[in-house]
Chain A
Amino acid sequence: MVTREQELVRTVVYKHPEALEDVQTHYCPGCTHGIAHRLIAEVVDELGIQDRTISVSPVGCAVFAYEYFDLDGVEAAHGRAPAMATGLKRVWPDRVVFTYQGDGDLAAIGTAEIMHAAARGENITVIFINNAIYGMTGGQMAPTSLPGQRTKSSPMGRDVKIAGYPLRMSELLADMDGAAYVVRRSLHSVREIRKAKKAIRTAFMTQISGLGFSMVELLSSCPTNWGFSPPDALKWVEENMVPYYPLGDYKVIEAVKALE
């Protein structure tokens, strides 16, 4: 006989996060921006910081990220998000300020701003979406595009003699004394997405604990501009991007280890 205590109740175990607006996004089918946005919103909900978080949107496909987060938000000029975040955080030190940036934003035009925000140990969190291409403008080569990768502005494949080599931002920033937590994760599988969420949470905790600069680089897909189906695009991330951009922890100061 089934007792009252053993009686099964059909219960919601996963639903749309509060910190994400209940609207359809403009992102392409299978675009991992949707996953990244969702993970950030889940972390904001879990940490209970919706009422004191401010987002800084980039220029890129995520230019309207502020429409999708149910948070106060501002729009930065291309690459300038870490500088805007610096201004915001310095005058609102008890708020949580995060930037959300793509590869053009962070690794091309914004290289000075991200390096110096990390060097200053700005107490902000950066979510870096690395999909090895410029999505919004239609698929041109990015500073993170791989050697040999075909893009709209490297139609014969990226030629390192003309275009040089990709930037590995996590490795570069890990070198900064002001950086407290710099890690690279991926969104190409359920297992990796779960690890990515943990990293995002640790990054926000780093900021909340006042420990310094935090960044989570997320290897992401761009099915439309790569010319793949969404599942094949995730495979491409795993087979081609992960070897060039190894996943792992590049900087984790002792105080952050205690948070994990």
Chain B
Amino acid sequence: MSAELMKGNVAIAEAAVRAGLEAYFGYPITPQTELLEHLSKRMVELERVFVQAESEVAAINMVYGAACAGARVMTSSSGPGISLMQEGLSYIAASEVPCVVVDMMRGGPGLGNIQPSQGDYFQVTRSAGHGDYHPIVLAPASVQEAIDLTFEAFDLADKYRHLVFVVGDGLIGQMMEPAVMPEMRPIRPRPDWAVSGKDGREKHIITSINLGAERNEAANLRIQDRIRVIRENEQRSLEWNIEDARILVVGFGTAGRVALSSVKMAREAGLPVGLFRPITLWPFPEKRLAEIVDGGIQAILVVEMNAGQMIDDVRLVVGHDVPVSHYGRLGGAVPLPDDVLHEIEKIAANIGLTATAMAG
């Protein structure tokens, strides 16, 4: 398989098609509109389902309907559209039907701008709209990762009957990189639990309403049990230069990628720095992070394109053992490697490490 130059948004769309996407319902919003446009052609070509809905509200409810029918289904949007979808996402979560949602984050809050950001971290990891839930959240940092994670997202969604987010930012959506696309997978058969017309069996009802405290609590506990299993088994991360690191930089997506450049520059200058890049924002890779921190980390720098959201999850793992600081750009600004390097150097100085001294 040879690599081809692909645009992030288009690559994600095509990866979904290869994974057996049966239906896409979406709405244009910068910076992910190319995804919708690619599917408007591809899905029709392949005689699969494509509808440009009248709003993100309608789109997520169309996704909900198709998911109840057991079809592999996806939508995509950016922060303002994901906000509109919160109601539908909550219903999908409660109904335990699988689906994949792509969020290409942009500067917010409000209408914000169309530049890249990571400002939706809380929104996608903490819950699906109202109520107790955690979607699975995958965070690629390159076009190839975006392809691979999108392709796998559908299997994860099916495996757990869970909502899976693939989150990028405007940069990942817009950039072009060489990547390899997986082979086309056949459309899988509809699962037994789906609604399809009660043909020789008892009727299937898919609903999110559970009247009565005990009944709703039981339904919630069932979801929570599953969330526990996901948390146990699906944590993922990547890491660089960890072995003798004293300073740990943590970043995801584009911020993690920029931080890698900074970490490499810092290493060249003799600073013992490593990078930890979560792939799953939820379940947050707490086990691996804890192990790394226990191995001698003296300070952590969290780099993200927001005012400090993932840093909360880092602090939850690390507690008061190690100082955790944040470097971020807001409103669509992207951090530059030199700026992150500067922060690393400040931290190093604070804990008594210099560019020329190697730690113990």
Direct A–B contact present (CB less than 8 angstroms): yes
A interface residues, Cβ below 8 angstroms from B:
50-54, 56-57, 63, 66-67, 70-77, 80, 83-92, 95-96, 112-113, 115-116, 120
Determine the chain B residues whose CB is within 8 A of the CB of A91 once the complex forms: 22-23, 49, 66, 69, 71, 73
Whether the pair B209, A75 counts as a contact (CB closer than 8 A) is: yes
Within 8 A of A (CB), among B180-229: 195-200, 203-209
Whether the pair A75, B207 counts as a contact (CB closer than 8 A) is: yes
- Of B34-42, B55-63, B149-157, B260-268, the one contacting chain A is B55-63
Q: Which of A53, A85, A90 has most chain B Cβ within 10 Å?
A: A90
| Chain B interface extent, by class | 35 or more
Q: Say how far B88's CB is from chain A's closest CB, in angstroms.
A: 7
Whether the pair A52, B199 counts as a contact (CB closer than 8 A) is: yes
User: 26 A-B residue contacts at CB 8 Å?
Assistant: A51-B199, A52-B199, A54-B197, A66-B205, A73-B205, A74-B65, A75-B95, A75-B207, A77-B91, A80-B57, A80-B88, A83-B53, A83-B64, A84-B64, A86-B51, A86-B58, A87-B73, A88-B66, A90-B51, A90-B66, A91-B69, A92-B69, A95-B196, A112-B54, A113-B58, A120-B51
B interface residues, Cβ below 8 angstroms from A:
22-23, 25, 49, 51, 53-55, 57-59, 61-69, 71, 73, 87-88, 91, 95, 195-200, 203-209
Whether the pair B65, A85 counts as a contact (CB closer than 8 A) is: yes
Name the one of A63, A84, A92 contacting B209, with C-beta atoms under 8 angstroms.
A63
Whether the pair B61, A76 counts as a contact (CB closer than 8 A) is: yes
Nearest CB in chain A to that of B53: its residue:
A83
Nearest CB in chain B to that of A69: its residue:
B203
Determine the chain A residues whose CB is within 8 A of the CB of B65 once the complex forms: 56, 74, 76, 83-89
A74 to B69, CA, bound (A): 10
Determine the chain B residues whose CB is within 8 A of the CB of A120 once the complex forms: 51
A56 to B66, CA, bound (A): 12
Whether the pair A50, B207 counts as a contact (CB closer than 8 A) is: no
A95 to B67, CA, bound (A): 15
Determine the chain A residues whose CB is within 8 A of the CB of B88 once the complex forms: 77, 80
Whether the pair B197, A95 counts as a contact (CB closer than 8 A) is: yes
Name the one of B25, B57, B87, B95 contacting A87, with C-beta atoms under 8 angstroms.
B25
Nearest CB in chain A to that of B209: its residue:
A75
Name the one of A53, A70, A71, A113 contacting B61, with C-beta atoms under 8 angstroms.
A113
7 closest A-B pairs by beta carbon, nearest first, are A87-B65, A52-B197, A83-B61, A75-B207, A84-B65, A87-B66, A87-B62
A63 to B207, CA, bound (A): 10
Whether the pair B64, A70 counts as a contact (CB closer than 8 A) is: no
Whether the pair A88, B199 counts as a contact (CB closer than 8 A) is: no
Nearest CB in chain A to that of B198: its residue:
A72
Determine the chain B residues whose CB is within 8 A of the CB of A73 once the complex forms: 195, 203-207
Nearest CB in chain A to that of B97: its residue:
A74
Determine the chain A residues whose CB is within 8 A of the CB of B207 once the complex forms: 57, 66, 73-75
Whether the pair A83, B58 counts as a contact (CB closer than 8 A) is: yes
Q: A53-B197, A70-B203, A87-B66 are in contact. List 13 more A-B contacts (CB 8 A).
A: A67-B205, A72-B198, A73-B206, A74-B206, A80-B58, A80-B61, A87-B61, A87-B62, A88-B66, A88-B195, A92-B197, A95-B197, A112-B57
Whether the pair A71, B203 counts as a contact (CB closer than 8 A) is: yes
Nearest CB in chain A to that of B59: its residue:
A83
Determine the chain A residues whose CB is within 8 A of the CB of B203 once the complex forms: 70-73
Nearest CB in chain B to that of A93: its residue:
B49
A53 to B209, CA, bound (A): 21
A55 to B53, CA, bound (A): 21
A4 to B185, CA, bound (A): 67
A84 to B58, CA, bound (A): 8
A75 to B55, CA, bound (A): 20
A107 to B200, CA, bound (A): 36
Nearest CB in chain A to that of B23: its residue:
A91
Q: Say how far A22's CB is from chain B's closest CB, in angstroms.
A: 13
Given contacts A74-B206, A75-B209, contact A88 B68 (CB under 8 A): yes
